[in-house]
Structure 1
Amino acid sequence: MITYAWVESIPPDQGDDLAALLDGAVEYDAEAGFSTANPDRPAAEGARVHHLLVSMPPRGFRGSPELERLPDVDVVAYLRLDVLDGVGEAALVVRPEFRSLGVATLLMERLRDEQDGWAAIPGLTRVAGWSHGVHPAAQRMSWRFGAESGREVVRTLMGIGGSRPFRPEVAVDGVRRMDGATFGEPARGHAAAACPADLAMRDRVATRLVIDEVGVVAVGSGVEGDPEAPALLELDPAAAPHDKDDLVLLLSAGAVAAQDGGARLASLYVDATDEVVLHVSRELGFFHDQTDLRYDLTLG
């Protein structure tokens, strides 16, 4: 039913069709915020990128009435694999019209069983990928192929500004501003497959607030005219305080800055095992929006 091929770069004659697949999937998945893939994203230092293009025979040769009704396209699914130290960070996208028809399941079976599959990638011992938000298909695939659920990252939101402004319960003093982007991903591979709206939220981070002897919080902005576009708050994962009072002060300073910048929502990603930050954020008014889950598949 399908054929697939690993390539080091996207062939020019398939580039437009792949772009149409990814653009269509982004639009289709926008509300759910599902993971996506970007063939043009720069690789991490030392990583080797492999692209997998999945095709299907033309209509008349597919052997299924359901498949025969679907359009003739060059690429029905795409997988990007970034391999570093034996671990492949995978991002898989299936063209929306071809979902729920067994394409991803058959592909994973063949990648597992065939020499042209995972075995064709030198040094690959484990495959990992992120499911952003509630993704039943990803969960079913993990059960079927024995992938283990690993890291969890919780995205939380808090309303700020407007008719219900955020009013800190502590004095936010001694705050110094400096230019600065995000501190990086909350966990390896998490941001790489995020949907465009989430990536844009990260790109809007341009300020860091420093409170001496307390810590640093990065602060993004909202989008003028779009009250549903959150401003990202981000604690430095390498140096985040775990004293509750310090966390309250940092997150309050960040929320005030985002609110003063015109944002109406603040967003904070938290490692699901970090009970202290989760507790403090809830006390401030952050609520659970979605849980992103990392799956790990050990190759045998």
Structure 2
Amino acid sequence: MCRNQRPCVISPSHGPDDNAFALSWAAVTDAAERVDGYAPLNEQATLDLAAGRRAPFLLRDGDAAVGALVLGSGELDLVVHPGFRRHGHATAALTELFGDPAYAVDAPDGLTAWAHGDHPAARALAGRFGFDAVRRLLQLELALDASSAPPASATPEGASAREKDDAIVIAAFDPDTDADAWVTLNARTFATHPEQGGITAADLADRMNEAWFDAGDFLVARVGDALVGYNWLKIEPGAAEGEIYVVGVSLEWSGHGLGRRLMTAGLERLRRRGATSATLYVEGDNVPAVRLYRSLGFTDRSVDVQYRRRTR
């Protein structure tokens, strides 16, 4: 399999159930997170690995694990251990998978790959192997101090509160009664979004089984029995940072200020839970959402770029 290139990609048959493989994998990904300041794999890649939907590979140079690669479902993720960067390992691994970029490239058309942090080296590597940037995902952050808190009257108190000026009720998500309605609303709200709009009932169940899930952190807006919006929050156990995991408003209520009210309620919930900062991800071309978040005080933290291999 090695075309006189190092490292070779190790078969997943040696893979994640092998203790030595798991230790080497953790050594690569943990080191990358410590040095870079963010996880080298996003949540969806992690969930796909756990469910067996995508395959993990290790990159080795001799006996040393120098990188990790995730492949499957039309997606590629690649990270090189910080101690082995700038030695051509990523180029060697992609050449092993795709062929020499100077000749016919046998990678599948349309393959996508995320570059977390938008590094110049990632841009150069993507261009060399026929990938174009197609999405920019912004990570924004906000310090949750008293000076940034909204007026108390603007946020719900307790699990549920009825707004005085209309029929909207903001309440905690009920897994027994709201799951199907939420999947339907989320699919409609994010119909054009390549990841969020495709979340199924099984995907929702996977997330509710995560250690961080708390139904009280999942705020939903109702008019009568109908769900019209939501703000799902995420706080990892023991973390001081909270995430605005996903915010959605039905098309019928878009432009009526419901998104701002859900954000305000979510930020207050994070404060009450002891979070000292909030983060969120938003598509760079989603102008209304970016404008809303910046008006609430969010500032830039990092940029992720998704690349897609161009059609030959």
Identity %: 21
Question: How far apart in 1 are the matches of 2:172 and 2:279?
Answer: 20
Mark the runs of 5 or more structure 2 residues left unpaired by the alignment.
156-162, 164-168, 197-206
**Are the equivalent residues in 2 in contact too, given 1:170–1:249 (CA < 8 A)?**
no
Aligned pair partner of 1:215 in 206, 213, 229: 229
Identify the residue that residue 11 of structure 2 maps to in structure 1. 7
Identify the residue that residue 54 of structure 1 maps to in structure 2. 59
- State the aligned residue count: 258
Pairing 1:19–2:29 present: no
User: Offset of 1:260 from its aligned partner?
Assistant: 1.3
Mark the runs of 5 or more structure 1 residues left unpaired by the alignment.
58-71, 190-198
Question: How far apart in 2 are the matches of 1:7 and 1:249?
Answer: 49
Question: How far apart in 2 are the matches of 1:272 and 1:54?
Answer: 32
Q: 1:32 to 1:10 in 2, by over 3 A?
A: same
Report the TM-score when normalising by structure 1: 0.70
Question: How far apart in 2 are the matches of 1:160 and 1:240?
Answer: 31
User: Offset of 1:101 from its aligned partner?
Assistant: 0.6
Pairing 1:175–2:170 present: yes
**Are the equivalent residues in 2 in contact too, given 1:21–1:95 (CA < 8 A)?**
no
User: Offset of 1:9 from its aligned partner?
Assistant: 2.7
Aligned pair partner of 1:94 in 80, 85, 91: 80
User: Offset of 1:6 from its aligned partner?
Assistant: 6.1
Pairing 1:274–2:286 present: yes
User: Offset of 1:241 from its aligned partner?
Assistant: 5.3
**SS of corresponding position for 2:14:** coil
Question: How far apart in 2 are the matches of 1:241 and 1:10?
Answer: 51
User: Offset of 1:12 from its aligned partner?
Assistant: 8.2
**SS of corresponding position for 1:76:** strand
Residue correspondence of structure 1 range 1-300 to structure 2 within 5 A: 1-5=5-9, 7-11=11-15, 15-17=19-21, 19-30=23-34, 31-36=36-41, 40-44=49-53, 49-57=54-62, 72-73=63-64, 75-83=65-73, 88-113=74-99, 119=106, 124-161=108-145, 163-168=146-151, 171-172=154-155, 173=163, 174-179=169-174, 187-188=194-195, 204-206=212-214, 207-213=217-223, 214-221=228-235, 224=238, 227=240, 229-236=241-248, 242-243=254-255, 245-298=257-310, 300=312
**Matching residue's letter, 1:9:** S
CA deviation digits over 1:42-77, x for unaligned, max 9? 144xxxx344443334xxxxxxxxxxxxxx42x333
**SS of corresponding position for 1:273:** coil
**Matching residue's letter, 1:55:** R
Report the more deviating stretch, 124-133 or 18-27. 18-27
Q: 1:165 to 1:11 in 2, by over 3 A?
A: closer
Q: 1:76 to 1:28 in 2, by over 3 A?
A: closer
RMSD: 3.6
User: Offset of 1:275 from its aligned partner?
Assistant: 0.6
User: Offset of 1:159 from its aligned partner?
Assistant: 1.5
Report the TM-score when normalising by structure 2: 0.68
**SS of corresponding position for 2:257:** helix
Q: 1:258 to 1:8 in 2, by over 3 A?
A: same
> More helix per residue: 1 or 2?
2
User: Offset of 1:22 from its aligned partner?
Assistant: 3.3
Question: How far apart in 2 are the matches of 1:55 and 1:233?
Answer: 35
Question: How far apart in 2 are the matches of 1:247 and 1:12?
Answer: 41
Question: How far apart in 1 are the matches of 2:92 and 2:119?
Answer: 18
**SS of corresponding position for 1:249:** helix
Q: 1:17 to 1:240 in 2, by over 3 A?
A: farther
